[in-house]
Amino acid sequence: MFGLLEIEDLHVSIGGRMVLKGINLKIDRGENHALFGPNGCGKTTLLNTIAGVPRYVVERGRILFKGKDITHMSMDERARMGIGIAFQSPPAIRGLKLKDLIKLCNPEANPEKVLKEMNFLEFADREVNRGFSGGEIKRSEMAQLLAQRPELVMLDEPDSGVDLENIKLIGRAINKLTEKDTKPSKRIRSGIIITHFGHILDYISVDKAHVMLEGTIVCTGSPREILEQIKTRGYEGCARCLCPT
Amino acid sequence: MSDIAERARKALGKKATYGPDVDLEKYDVEAKPHEEIQRLEEIPEDVRKAALGVGVTLEKEVGGAYIQMDQTPVVARSSTEGIEVLDIATALKKYDGLRDYWWKLVPVDQDKYTADVALHPPAGYFLRAKRGAKTIFPLKSCLYLGQTNLNQRVHNIIIAEEGSELHVITGCTTPSHVQRGLHLGVSEFFIKKGAHVSFTMIHNWGREVEVRPRTAIYMEEGATLSNNYICLTPAKTLQTYPKAILDGKGAVASFNTVLYAKEGHLDTGSEVVLRAPGCSADSITRAVSVGGEIITRGKMVGEVPDVKAHLECVGLILSEKGRIDSIPELDGRCGGLDMSHEAAVGKISELELEYLMARGLTKDQATGVIVRGFLDVEIKGLPESLREELRRITQLQELHGGA
Ligand SMILES: Nc1ncnc2c1ncn2[C@@H]1O[C@H](COP(=O)(O)OP(=O)(O)O)[C@@H](O)[C@H]1O
Ligand SMILES: [Mg+2]
């Protein structure tokens, strides 16, 4: 049986510099993964490469989604296959209203409904991300994903810049996107989330966590345990692999 | 009158400062006459359809209408108290040659085009808001060039008397079967003390049409103007450079221009002279070239202290062949004024494209969405109904990315 997403020996460069150096990762249907790692280690690079952003050049290895090799597929094809991403820092788009973008994500979606879920209705007529604060951008991204309903939900720091009250809301949206109220054996959607703070993990459940250092995954295990180790020993500890075995 | 004719005759060979020279001989002078139209329902389907394409819906919310087919005014009427809509020949008769207005702003000998207009029987509209009168619904006018290879000449006079408010939308258009022709349009605006005018012009020409509008605007104390020009379909050559003179304290003028050129040559711009303290002006241009050539000029002249002026031009070139040449000019002639400009010409942002593609839009769809958003300028001073109309126009067009 194929996992929903399988990554084999992935090497990726940006502007001629190798950033990812041999990533292997498998995400099964219904699973939720967390990705930890210090600034600049390549977390965003990994998600954007999966999404198909052309700046990120795959030098070696491949990406399979639903058993199909998507390594060289265009971004929009991947999106239509069921890959969705909340960007770490998306651009603003002049003259495009948020509610209209939500319609573009999915013509069947009800913009009012998804915006309400993110407590974001008053931004419906605002131009996408223009003048939004950090936390507002995150809510805008989540609303778009709620409309899009991807099978693989990739979240790049969805909690950074978000106040405590809205973190709860974002947590709830993530649970919805990853079908937390469906029996585990019946879930078909999966998630991968990048976060620096454990706080969001109080609201969502994560099955596996990975630690990334300098473009490779150095450790995989239970999210709570890994987070605990990072808190006490820092990424420095991961580098020397100080976890009890 | 004879003095005007005299000066015009002398200028018949005078080339314009800007724009490729047009050989007037190539175009027909004789226009087939049309019948006057009694009821709006009788407007021929062709005209109605073409009018719709330039934002002139004639069914609803019309404060007044003027329709000219070729050289014949077929409709000229007002349905608003205090607002006059006449064809210009009638107005000249009624008001003793419009002596204070006729050729008072646009020099008759400016170039061969003004001269040519002056030397032929006048057609065009006369719009006047009487003192304190206000249009609730905009006046709608359509200048329709339906005869192939005609030289269509128009001379308009617009007067907003003290404290009045006038909203006008003018569509200039050719039906789809007419590709070749020439349109010469002289317009003179008088915006008196405390009056407000919004004037929106939408052009939709055939590919071989040449266009030379000649516009001048005079503004008194406290007058405001929102002047909007939209051209989304190609003309062979088009050159326009309206001039506004802000002559009274606190007059405010705002120019918005939206251009989309698939082919052809557009040379547009405006000159604003700020002649009294407290005056301000801004000019915003959004230009997209997908192969056409666009020159956008903007000139602000500050003659006295305590005036403010801002020019802005942003251009997108979406193909290999296009050209956008932005020429901003600021001429400050004394101390104590505040003038600025801002210009950027470039390609569509990759980041924005990728963002939309990550939501499942193809590259072409994403380009269309970004371009439409880019062209959707927030236009100040327009009534909501017109705003909607404009949005409809910019969203209607099939806007493409480059090859
Ligand atoms: N456009 C780019 N050009 C060159 N280097 C880049 C670019 N984007 C990211 N990088 C570099 O790639 C590395 C990984 O970046 P990123 O994946 O964003 O890290 P993370 O998300 O883990 O903080 C960093 O060293 C970063 O500076
Ligand atoms: Mg990052």
pLDDT in tens, A117-164: 999 999 999 999 999 999 999 999 999 999 999 999 999 999 999 998
**Average pLDDT, integer, range A7-24:** 97
**A215: Cβ below 6 Å to ligand 1?**
no
Query: What is the pLDDT confidence band of residue B98, given thresholds at 50, 70 and 90?
Result: very high
Residue B171 has pLDDT above 80, yes or no: yes
In the prediction, which pLDDT does B400 show?
Answer: 46
Specify whether the CB–CB gap between B260 and B399 falls below 8 A. yes
Burial of B274 (0-12, 13-18, 19+ CB in 10 A): buried
Tell me how close the Cα of B101 comes to any Cα of chain A, in angstroms. Answer: 40
Q: Look at residue B380 in the predicted model and tell me its pLDDT.
A: 64
CA–CA dist B261, B20 (Å, integer): 17
Measured between alpha carbons, how far is B141 from B170 in angstroms, rounded to an integer?
A: 5
Record the tokens describing residue B90, joined without a space.
């009638």
- Cα distance between residue B339 and residue A94, in whole Å: 25
Residue B60 has pLDDT above 70, yes or no: no
Q: Is the pLDDT of residue B383 over 50?
A: yes
Q: Is the pLDDT of residue B87 over 90?
A: yes
- For residue A76, the chain B residues in CB contact (below 8 A) are 357-358, 360-363, 366
Please enumerate in sequence order all residues whose Cβ is within 8 A of that of B358, keeping only pairs 6 or more positions apart, or say none: A51, A52, A53, A75, A76, A79, A84, A85, A87
Q: Torsion angle of alpha carbons A124, A130, A132, A138, nearest 10°? A: 70
Subunit contact A80:B360, Cβ cutoff 8 A: yes
Work out the minimum CA distance from A89 to partner chain B, whole angstroms.
10
pLDDT at B388: 72
Q: To the nearest whole number, what is the mean pLDDT of chain B?
A: 91
Query: Which chain A residues have any C-beta within 8 angstroms of a chain B C-beta?
Result: 51-55, 74-76, 79-80, 84-85, 87, 90-91, 93-96, 101, 104-105, 127, 144, 148
Closest to A52 measured CA to CA, from A69, A76, A80, A29: A76
Give residue A42's pLDDT.
97
Per-residue pLDDT averaged across B57-61, rounded?
A: 71
pLDDT at A1 over 70: no
Q: At B9, give phi and psi (nearest 5°).
A: -60, -40
pLDDT the model gives residue B403: 29
Residue A95: strand, helix, or coil: coil
Say how many Å lie between the CA of residue A45 and the centre of ligand 2.
7
What confidence tier does B187 reach under pLDDT thresholds 50, 70, 90? Answer: very high
The tokens describing A137, both together, are 């951008």
> Residue A190 pLDDT more than 50?
yes
Range of lowest pLDDT (A28-37, A135-144, B326-335, B386-395): B386-395
- Convert the pLDDT of each residue in A201-228 to its tens digit: 999 999 999 999 999 999 999 998 898 8
* pLDDT at B401 exceeding the cut of 50: no
B198 close to B169: Cβ distance less than 8 angstroms? no
User: From CA B304, how far away is CA B39, in angstroms rounded?
Assistant: 50
The residue nearest atom 5 of ligand 1, judged by CA position, is: A14
On the question of pLDDT at B101 being above 50, the answer is yes
Q: What is the pLDDT of residue B392?
A: 67
State mean pLDDT over B132-158.
93
Q: What is the percent of chain B with per-residue pLDDT over 90, rounded to a whole number? A: 75
Query: Hey, which of B112-116, B259-263, B370-374 has the most confident mean pLDDT?
Result: B112-116
Alpha carbon separation from B150 to B12, B47, B70, B153, B210 (Å, rounded) = 18, 16, 8, 9, 11
**Best mutation site among A11, A23, A44 for ligand 1, i.e. most ligand atoms within 8 A of its Cβ?**
A44
Cα–Cα distance for residue pair A197/A34, rounded to 1 Å? 11
pLDDT, tens digit (0-9, with 9 covering 90-100), for B204-260: 898 899 999 999 999 999 999 999 998 988 899 999 999 999 999 999 999 999 998
Kindly state the average pLDDT of the residues B262-277.
96
Alpha carbons A182 and A186: distance in angstroms, whole number: 6
Nearest Cα to Cα of residue B272 among B169, B341, B345, B170: B341
Q: Which residues make up the environment of ion ligand 2, defined by Cβ < 5 Å?
A: A 44, 88
* Chain A residues in contact with B354 (beta carbon < 8 A): 53-54, 75
Residues B201 and B230: their CA atoms lie apart, in Å, by 6
Residue B19 region, left (φ>0) first, then alpha (ψ -120 to 50), else beta?
left
pLDDT of residue B402: 35
- The answer, yes or no, to whether residue A92 has pLDDT greater than 90, is yes
What is the model's pLDDT at position A245? 59
Residue B92 amino acid letter: L
Closest C-alpha to B296, from B265, B262, B320, B253: B265
pLDDT tens for B286-315 read 999 999 999 999 999 999 999 999 999 999
Q: Do A51 and B370 touch (CB under 8 A)?
A: no
Partner-chain contact B373 A93, CB within 8 Å: yes
A49 contacts on B by Cβ (under 8 Å): none
Question: Does B354 reach chain A within 8 Å, measured CB to CB?
Answer: yes
* Pairwise CA distance, residues B313 & A77, whole Å: 35
